[in-house]
Each structure stands twice: as structure tokens, then as C-alpha cells.
Amino acid sequence: MEEPDVQNPSADEDTEQEPLVNSLDIFLLSLIAGLLIYWFFSRRKPQDIPDFKRLTPTVVTPARETSFIEKMKKTNRNIVVFYGSQTGTAEEFSNRLAKDAQRYGMRGMAADPEEFDMSELPRLTEIDNSLAIFCMATYGEGDPTDNAQDFFDWLQETDDSLEGIGFAVFGLGNKTYEHFNAMGKYVDKRLAELGAKRIFDLGLGDDDANLEEDFISWKEQFWPAVCEFFGVEATGEECSIRQFELVVHNDINMNQVYTGELGRLKSFENQRPPFDAKNPYLAPVTVNRKLNKGGDRHLMHLELDISGSKIRYDSGDHVAVYPTNDMTLVKRLGEVLHVDLDTVMSLNNLDEESSKKHPFPCPTTYRTALTHYLDVTNPPRTNVLYELSQYAADPTEQENLRKMASASPEGKALYQSWVVDSQRNILAILEDLPSLRPPIDHLCELLPRLQARYYSIASSAKVHPSSVHICAVVVEYTTPTGRVNKGVATNWLKNKTVNDNGHKSTVPMYVRKSQFRLPFKASNPVVMIGPGTGIAPFVGFIQERAWLKQQGKDVGETVLYYGCRHKSEDYLYQEELEEFERAGVLTQLNVAFSRDQEHKVYVQHLLKKNKEHLWNLIHSKNAHIYICGDARNMARDVQAAFHEIAEEAGGLTHSQAVDYFKRLMTKGRYSQDVWS
């Protein structure tokens, strides 16, 4: 009975309590609002869709061309020079070969295999009179360089036919290493197996002797072979061809100018992970102490703070640091060339299609370029001397520069004695040839890039997760011309005080992974041989073995063979090592003091002295052997000592002993972290 009352209220109620908006009004207002909203969005749709479509190409179109074939077609190139480079030398050689091609009426381009799809190599036949050249450096224990790893993997896996493709390979290696030029040899062999035609013999450059001379000799015979292959002749004498043009910026916002950054502008001010070769981390120096107690050398221990950087490392990894050149040397270059080093400039590639727009980050100042980006301390290569010769006003000086750049025996001998043996850098050459005054922009174009320096990390992340430790010796010597040459990185590190006028000293760095690893099973014994600063990775190894022991792990024998000149002068980390021995972490600490007695004693002598114990560890207990330090002498002598141990304690013949340790290398039980 109450329902009709709700639907039909009395007149009095209507007058006194009628709402301002009834149900019908609400319905009508909702309908109108809905129609307005529909009209509003339907009206905007035609504008939204084109906007969205305009944005799409920037998302899906790749930022760079990954097809070297299409790039060669677009830029009318017929020669491509790929490089596998770790320190920049192979890249430099590739650029020189690409430039040489112009002398023969051809057009070449240097290419980083990491930036292109190498599976397109079979398509090279689409380009008439085409040729692929490979400048391949070998890194580590016969490995490809970082930028050639993917190419190496593809070569191993592919069955694609390379029939109809002409190729040539120049390898860059060092005979002091076990796997001399392994990468160059592999690429040469594998390309031929896949059907490609070798148009000239494999070149094997040896950095232990004279890599530059090896390259010059190879390419002087290589180009005639190319001419014969294509049926062409040289267009004339070698001439100077500029690759970059100078632009001086008289009115520029200094916030747009590079001040030493390697990749992103202002990356040193606004640091963002991940940190790598193009984006190093500015690590504060928290410790910088001298390690040796006497002698005329300076051996040092530095600690770099990586807390908050998200950088991770393992014992045995390398830390790469980016040094700067000595400011005194840079200032002197400016004085000799009579230039304002603070001029802001850019060097722009004349080839607009090139992926390499500048030789180093631009715009920048000459001072920054010579301090941060260019190598001004190593003896210049012959191509630099040839290009500079045109600026020598004295005919005799010009003739000698061109002679040193030639492939003649007389020219090679002059370059070897006057540049290499005399250890003349670019400043010394300019000082000793008073008529040679090249434009500074051309000099900056010609000089190679200043490279990162690598050090074996002297700490364990298990013990020091927020710091990376470096052990190094400062390089400084007098040259035959009476000048004092200083190692770029070590002298720069030496001067990195913990507190620099109230500011923290920082080091641009990143971590490079290594195969130099402790055994997976902690119970495996380890035998470490590391004289001098070769002790560095083993400090980390021992710290880690101590940490594992603290965790209750079964840790095998930990044996160290270390060597230095004098116990009282340069016994590095003596207190730490002796403490590890007392704690039972180091089960054997063997130290050779080479000059504390009449006859010199080295680590290999101590190894042979303990031959029975070592052979038992290696042959019966699955020990892992690690060697760090000088490759030219120490690593060879140590390997020869192990061969003798296998012969005398194991009863093997010499050839059996050699094969035995080669097998250990293959199994990862004989590892080397060596340098020459």
C-alpha cells in the first residue's frame, strides 16, 4: 500500500520537499553529456591518427645502416676493409688500405664487423670488381678481438658459399704469445674453405719485431696483386688526400663542446650506467700508495671506488682506464706549431655517407684533442710521416720523411733507426725538423687515438665489492736523443692524489671480462707464477681463497711463486702475503730475489727446485696453473721449466711434455695473463 504514495506524493510534500532535479532531468543531462563526450573524441580522432603514424618511422627505422652491401652500393664503393681491433692499430691499418684504393681508381671503405650484418658477405658478388680485405688482430690466448667476436662465431657456424668473392687477410699478432696470429690465420683459412678466392697471401704482422714494417712490406706487394686481379693500373704517385675538413667555431655555446667525454656529451657530469668503453665511470681514487721501500722505481697500489656504479667484477678481470697526456707536452706542441690550443673546432668527414663523422668527439678544442683523444707519445707510423712531408720547407727534411715512409730497404732502415730506435714521438720529430710545421688540424687528423690502458685487477669482489685495486710500475726512461719519455697512464695514475685541492681525484674506467679464472671447484689446487707487478691478479685470487675458507669451503692447496729484485726494496705486498701464509691460506710462498746474490735467481729456478711437489699437484691432483707478467722472457722460461718438470719428474719425452701442457691449455688448466 505504500508504493502508490511514493509514486504520487501529496501536494503539500510537493510544495515543501520537491528536489531541484528529478530523475528525468538526470537522464536527459546524462544523455547530453554522453553525446558531447562522443562528439568531442570523434572530432579529435582524425587528428590523432596522422600524428601517431608520423611517429612510427622514428621507432621502427634503425638508427644506422646494418647492411654493408647496401652502403657500398649507395656510396659507390667496391672494396671493403673489415677490421678486428682491440687497441686501434688494425682499425688504423684498415683506414690506410681504404684510402690507398683511390690510387688505383677504386673506392674503399673501412668497416667495423660489429656494426654490420656479416652474414651478408655472400652478397658481395652483387658489386662488380669487389674485394673484401680483413685486418684481424689476435687478442688474449688466440681469441678474436671484442668487435670481431660475432663475425668469428658466424664464420664457425656458417655453411654459406663464398664462391666468386675475392679476399685478402693481414693479421696483427705478437710472436711472444703462444697463439701467434691465430685470428688472422683462421679467417684466411675459413674464407678459402667456404669458396672465396684468395687474391694475395696472408700477411702476418709481428708486434714483437716491427709491425709497421711488416704491414708496409705486405701492402707494397698486395696492391700489384690487386691490380693484376682486376686488370687495372695505379693512377699515379701516392698523394695526400684529406679525409676531414676543419670548421672553427668562433661563437658557440661551451655546453655543446666536448671536454674529454668519449661518447655522450656531458657524460662525465651526468653519469648513467651501464658503464663500458664508450661510457666509462669516473671512479674516485681512495688509496694511492707507493709499494716499494727503495730502489729508483716507483711501484704503486691504487684503489678506485665503484660503489653506486653497478659495476661488477670477478677475480682475474681487467680494469681499463682512460689516461690523459702530459699537459707540459701538449703545451709544447702548441708552442712549436704557434697555435691557440683553446680554439674550438670540429673536423668533419668530407664523405657525408661515412659512419665516422669525426676522428674524435667534436666540437672540441685543440687542447682537449691533444690531451684526451690523440696519441702524442708513441713514435708516429710511416703514413703520418708521408702526409706531413709536404709541410717541410727544407728539401732534405722532406726527402728524408718520404724516404722513411717508403718500402725501400734504405727507407725502412732510416725509419727504424731515426724514429723507432731513437724513440722519437711527434714533438721530438717537430723539434728535430725545424722546417716541418704542419697545420695543427691536419696533424690531429693523422695522429691515432689515445687508447685505454688495461691492468689486471688486484682485488677480489668477494672481499672488496665496492672497489677495484690496481698494481702498476711507473714507466720513465731517457731516450737515445737525451729526452725523458714518460709512460702516459702510469705517470697520470701516479699523480692521482686522493685529495686534489679539496676535490676527489677520479679515473675514467670500466671493467673488461677475462678468461683468467679460479677453478670452479675450490678444492682444486692452484699454482700461481707472477713476478713483479704480475702479482696483481694473484692478490685477488688469494683474497678469494681466504674468503672461501672463511665460508667453510674445502679449499685446495694455494701455491705462489713470486719474484722481485731485492727483498728490502721491491717485495710487493710482503706483509699481506706473509700474513696469508701464516693463516694457512697460502700453503706455499716461494719468492725469488733475483739480485740479492751473485747469480740471478728467477721464478723458473724455484719451480724446477720443487719439481716433485709440482708434478704431483698437476698430474695427480688436477691443479690449475696461472702465469702473469712478461710474455717475452718470463712466460717462455716458465713454460720451458714445466716441460723439464714433466720430463724429469713425470718421465715424459720432450715432445710428450709439450703436448701434455698444450692439452692443459685446451682444458683451461694452464692460463696466461701476459704482456710484452
Give the Cα separation of 245 and 347 in Å (integer).
5
Where are the extended beta strands (E) located within 396-555?
453-456, 467-473, 476-478, 484-486, 499-500, 503-504, 506-512, 526-529
Q: Is 63 annotated as a binding residue?
A: no
Contact 305, 283 (CB under 8 A): yes
Q: Is 595 annotated as a binding residue?
A: yes
Q: Is 620 annotated as a binding residue?
A: no
Q: Which residues of 656-668 are buried (b: 16+ CB within 10 A; e: fewer)?
A: ebbebbeebbeee
Q: Is 594 annotated as a binding residue?
A: yes
Q: Is 212 annotated as a binding residue?
A: no
Q: Is 322 annotated as a binding residue?
A: no
Q: Is 488 annotated as a binding residue?
A: yes
**How many angstroms from the chain centroid is the CA of residue 471?**
19
Q: Is 207 annotated as a binding residue?
A: yes
Of 564, 628, 630, 671, which is the active-site residue? 628
Q: Is 60 annotated as a binding residue?
A: no
Q: Is 43 annotated as a binding residue?
A: no
The H helix count followed by the E strand count for the chain is 22, 25
Rg of the chain over all Cα atoms, to the nearest angstrom: 33
Q: Is 148 annotated as a binding residue?
A: no
Give the Cα separation of 165 and 126 in Å (integer).
10
Name residue, grid cell 731515426. Answer: 418
- Which residues are within 8 A (CB) of 21 and not within 5 positions of it... i.e. 6 or more apart? 29
How far CA 554 is from CA of 496, 546, 558, 579, 625, in Å, comes to 40, 11, 12, 20, 19
Give the Cα separation of 475 and 470 in Å (integer).
15
Give the Cα separation of 376 and 389 in Å (integer).
18
Q: Is 197 annotated as a binding residue?
A: no
Q: Is 240 annotated as a binding residue?
A: no
Q: Is 181 annotated as a binding residue?
A: yes
Burial of 478 (0-12, 13-18, 19+ CB in 10 A): exposed
Q: Is 325 annotated as a binding residue?
A: no
Q: Is 328 annotated as a binding residue?
A: no
Q: Is 403 annotated as a binding residue?
A: no
- Which residues are within 8 A (CB) of 265 and not within 5 positions of it... i.e. 6 or more apart? 256, 258, 361
Q: Is 104 annotated as a binding residue?
A: no
Give the Cα separation of 142 and 44 in Å (integer).
63
Q: Is 176 annotated as a binding residue?
A: yes
Q: Is 218 annotated as a binding residue?
A: no
Q: Do strands 197-198 and 203-206 pair parallel, antiparallel, or not at all (unpaired)?
A: unpaired
Q: Is 382 annotated as a binding residue?
A: no
CB atoms closer than 10 angstroms to residue 608 = 15
Give the Cα separation of 215 and 212 in Å (integer).
5
Q: Is 264 annotated as a binding residue?
A: no
Can the peptide bond before residue 9 be classed as cis, meaning omega within 30 degrees of 0? no
How far CA 468 is from CA of 107, 300, 462, in Å, comes to 46, 14, 11
Q: Is 87 annotated as a binding residue?
A: yes
Q: Is 381 annotated as a binding residue?
A: no
Q: Is 473 annotated as a binding residue?
A: yes
Q: Is 99 annotated as a binding residue?
A: no
Give the Cα separation of 674 and 236 in Å (integer).
45
Q: Is 172 annotated as a binding residue?
A: yes
Name residue, grid cell 690502458. Answer: 453
- Bridge partners, residue 673, by sequence: 628
Q: Is 178 annotated as a binding residue?
A: yes
Q: Is 603 annotated as a binding residue?
A: yes
**Residue 470 cell numbers, joined:** 690496481
Torsion, CA 113, CA 117, CA 122, CA 125, rounded to 10? -80
Which has the closest alpha carbon to 668: 515, 514, 456? 515
Catalytic residue flag (residue 675): yes
- Which residues are within 8 A (CB) of 23 and not within 5 positions of it... i.e. 6 or more apart? none
Q: Is 670 annotated as a binding residue?
A: no
Name residue, grid cell 692447496. Answer: 557
- Which residues are within 8 A (CB) of 85 and not within 5 positions of it... i.e. 6 or more apart? 91, 94, 135, 137, 145, 147
Of 267, 309, 456, 514, which is the active-site residue? 456
Q: Is 297 annotated as a binding residue?
A: yes
CB atoms closer than 10 angstroms to residue 192 = 15
Q: Is 179 annotated as a binding residue?
A: yes
> What are residue 140's phi and psi, to 5 degrees?
60, -135
Catalytic residue flag (residue 135): no
Q: Is 139 annotated as a binding residue?
A: yes
> What are residue 132's phi and psi, to 5 degrees?
-110, 125
Q: Is 192 annotated as a binding residue?
A: no
Q: Is 489 annotated as a binding residue?
A: yes
Residue numbering of the annotated binding site for NADP(+):
297, 533, 594-595, 600-604, 637
Report, as residue numbers or ranges, the catalytic residues.
Answer: 456, 628, 673, 675
Residue numbering of the annotated binding site for FMN:
85-90, 137-140, 172-181, 207
Residue numbering of the annotated binding site:
85-90, 137-140, 172-181, 207, 297, 453-456, 471-473, 477, 487-490, 533, 594-595, 600-604, 637, 675
Residue numbering of the annotated binding site for FAD:
453-456, 471-473, 477, 487-490, 675
